[in-house]
Structure 1
Amino acid sequence: MELLKQRIMQDGRCYPGGILKVDSFINHQMDPMLMYKIGEEFIKRFSNENINKIVTIEASGIAPAIMVGYIMQLPVVFVKKKKPKTMENMLTTVVHSFTKDRDYTVCISNNFLTPDDRILFIDDFLAFGNAALGIVDLAKQSGAHIAGMGFIIEKAFQDGGNVLRKMGIHVESLAIIDSLDDCKITIR
């Protein structure tokens, strides 16, 4: 997706340790027109999948997931990082955050993730694949089928994409970063 790649090169910032900041247009301040184009691109890439629900994990995946759900006219469910006291029929798994270097117990009600669901998981970043593997675990617990996983940005050098693809999951990344060595952004 050329528009996204241009924006990463223009406004993305690199930090030591393989961190790419895109907080001025994706995950803190958002560009809604870019998000809409991102939603359209995901829909194109997953058009052959029979999807009936969009799933994401809070918080940065919510905006692109809502765009996809809005355009496809499908419900959007987000996996929560804090267990609400009122959640019924809770499924949980542990996810490690690369950016924050901590583990989260994430949860979703199996009222909203069922064996009838063919889900498209949408998130902002794919690095080591920890959040995505958490979704795989939650889908397994609920009996839901993962029709695909879409990521705005994949950091190919951190191998999460390879792990998911080897599992047979249809993965689409709109921009693939091959390297952040010496804080130079190299996009495939």
Structure 2
Amino acid sequence: MDKLKEMIIEKGEIREGNILKVDSFLNHQLDTQFLYEMGEEMYRLFKDQEITKILTIEVSGIAIAIMAALVFKVPVVFAKKTESLNLDKDVYVGKVFSYTKNKEYNIMISKKYLNSNDKLLIIDDFLAEGNAMKGLIDMAKQSNAEVKGIGIAIEKGFQKGGKILREEGYNLKSLAIVDEMKNGSITFREVD
């Protein structure tokens, strides 16, 4: 998606530790019109997969997932990172190691929102090592739902997450793949 690449170059910041900061439009301040265009692109990529629900993880994946869900006309289910009094006790639990926070935590989804009839599109803002995806896929397996696709806004192609998921046979599509971040510049991989 050329517009996403342009936004990354124009508004993104490269930080120490292979961090790409895109909070001015994607995961802190939200450019809603652009996010809707990303949702439309997710629909274009996965429209033939008979998606019944979109699955994501809080917090940054929610905005993109909602925009895609508007186009697909399906619900969004998001995994919660913290327990709360209003979360059901009967939950699927997955483990996620956060690359940016350098810690492992549990994610949870109420069992009443995922089941064997679901055909899932998993959406997230970033894919690096694939840890969030592993946790979400694990919960999809626990529920016997079928993962029909994985849609990522920005994949860090120089990290192993995308390669592993593709080798495992997942239908993974990224709107932009960053192959290198070096000396303040970004090199993108061509994507379909």
TM beyond 0.5: yes
CA distance in 2, matches of 1:62, 1:82: 15
Q: TM-score, normalised by structure 2?
A: 0.95
Contact preservation (8 Å) 1:18, 1:181? no
1:159 corresponds in structure 2 to: 160
Q: TM-score, normalised by structure 1?
A: 0.97
Give the deviation of 1:185 after TM superposition. Answer: 1.4
1:114 corresponds in structure 2 to: 115
1:103 corresponds in structure 2 to: 104
Give the deviation of 1:14 after TM superposition. Answer: 0.1
CA distance in 2, matches of 1:70, 1:129: 26
Structure 1 counterpart SS, 2:113: coil
Q: C-alpha deviations, 1:15-67, integer Å up to 9, x for none?
A: 12110000000000010011010000000001221110011100000000000
1:178 corresponds in structure 2 to: 179
Where in structure 1 do 4 or more consecutive aligned residues deviate above 4 Å? none
CA distance in 1, matches of 2:23, 2:80: 21
1:41-80 alignment runs, 5 A limit? 41-80=41-80
CA distance in 1, matches of 2:24, 2:113: 32
Contact preservation (8 Å) 2:47, 2:72? no
Q: Which amino acid aligns with 2:156?
A: K
CA distance in 2, matches of 1:170, 1:110: 24
Give the deviation of 1:182 after TM superposition. Answer: 2.9
Contact preservation (8 Å) 2:120, 2:146? yes
Unpaired runs of 5+ in structure 1?
A: none
1:187 corresponds in structure 2 to: 188
Identity of aligned residues (%): 46
Q: Which amino acid aligns with 1:153?
A: I
CA distance in 2, matches of 1:140, 1:14: 35
Contact preservation (8 Å) 1:155, 1:178? yes
Give the deviation of 1:104 after TM superposition. Answer: 1.4
Unpaired runs of 5+ in structure 2?
A: none
CA distance in 1, matches of 2:85, 2:143: 20
User: What is the RMSD computed on CA atoms of the aligned residues?
Assistant: 0.9
Structure 2 counterpart SS, 1:139: helix
Question: Size of the alignment, in residue pairs?
Answer: 188
CA distance in 1, matches of 2:47, 2:158: 28
CA distance in 2, matches of 1:66, 1:179: 29
